[in-house]
């Protein structure tokens, strides 16, 4: 797999609470939240747990879910030790590519997309108030896009006792692409524009850079992080 990644603080926020991980077939993004620098600590902690997790020969979906649960426990433990970190949390969207399959674990409103034959498919479901209302049929897509609670998460790594982790897996075909991103991209750049950039840019790194630039050109209202991978 050829992989490119880019992250930027944006044009409004004082610090970058996003992070990403690219290592040995493991791709992840995390978007932290919390006061002071707690958001940065939450996302960096979760990504470090994923980076160091002892993945073995077991069921990849179960291992990936266990890795996210380990990140949840670690972020909670840090928050309980330091009052300034209380309430911190993070999204985690992580993909593990093994041979011709990709395994995905996900919590929050960062996203993973599959890019296949020029079409973009959103694989993960957003865990936000607006997205849950949309799935329940209580509001439409336009209302969801402008909903005052569109950024409020219904699940986050490090928040609450029990964490429900979405896991899924799908086959990869030669030429397929994967895109992982935080909401700093998708709040400003819609799926059609993401697909256009992936089509235009020659390499995953060029695509990641161009997508971040597009979010910045449209205001850069949040931290923005993009990981792009292309299967051989």
Q: Which residues contact Mn ion by CB under 5 A?
A: 31, 182-184, 222
In angstroms, give the least distance from the CB of 185 to Mn ion: 9
In angstroms, give the least distance from the CB of 13 to Mn ion: 9
Alpha-carbon gap, residue 23 to 111, rounded angstroms: 18
In angstroms, give the least distance from the CB of 151 to Mn ion: 7
Q: Considering beta carbons, is residue 172 or 187 the nearer one to Mn ion? A: 187
Q: Considering beta carbons, is residue 31 or 132 the nearer one to Mn ion? A: 31
Per DSSP bridges, beta strands 89-90 and 166-171 are: unpaired
Nearest to 224 by CA among 189, 181, 194, 195: 181
In angstroms, give the least distance from the CB of 152 to Mn ion: 12
Q: How far is CA 202 from CA 197, 205, 210, in A?
A: 10, 9, 11
Hey, is 146 helix, strand or coil? helix
Q: Considering beta carbons, is residue 60 or 124 the nearer one to Mn ion? A: 124
Q: Considering beta carbons, is residue 177 or 184 the nearer one to Mn ion? A: 184
Alpha-carbon gap, residue 91 to 183, rounded angstroms: 10
């Amino acid at each position: 797999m050829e992989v490119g990644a880019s992250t930027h603080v944006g044009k409004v926020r004082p610090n970058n609470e996003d992070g990403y991980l690219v290592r040995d077939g493991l791709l992840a993004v995390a978007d932290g939240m919390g006061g002071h620098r707690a958001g940065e600590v939450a996302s960096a902690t979760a990504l470090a747990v994923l980076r160091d997790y002892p993945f073995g020969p077991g069921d990849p979906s179960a291992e990936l879910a266990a890795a996210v649960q380990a990140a949840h426990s670690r972020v909670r433990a840090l928050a309980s030790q330091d009052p300034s970190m209380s309430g911190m949390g993070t999204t985690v969207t992580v993909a593990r590519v093994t041979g011709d399959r990709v395994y995905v674990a996900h919590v929050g409103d960062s996203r993973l997309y599959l890019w296949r034959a020029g079409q973009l498919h959103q694989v993960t479901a957003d865990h936000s108030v607006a997205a849950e209302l949309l799935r329940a049929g209580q509001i439409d897509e336009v209302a969801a896009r402008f909903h005052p609670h569109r950024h409020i998460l219904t699940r986050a790594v490090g928040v609450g006792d029990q964490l429900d982790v979405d896991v899924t897996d799908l086959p990869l075909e030669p030429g397929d692409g994967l895109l992982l991103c935080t909401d700093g991209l998708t709040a400003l750049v819609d799926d059609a524009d993401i697909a256009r950039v992936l089509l235009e840019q020659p390499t995953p790194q060029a695509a990641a850079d161009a997508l971040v630039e597009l979010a910045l050109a449209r205001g850069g209202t949040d931290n923005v992080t993009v990981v792009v991978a292309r299967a051989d």
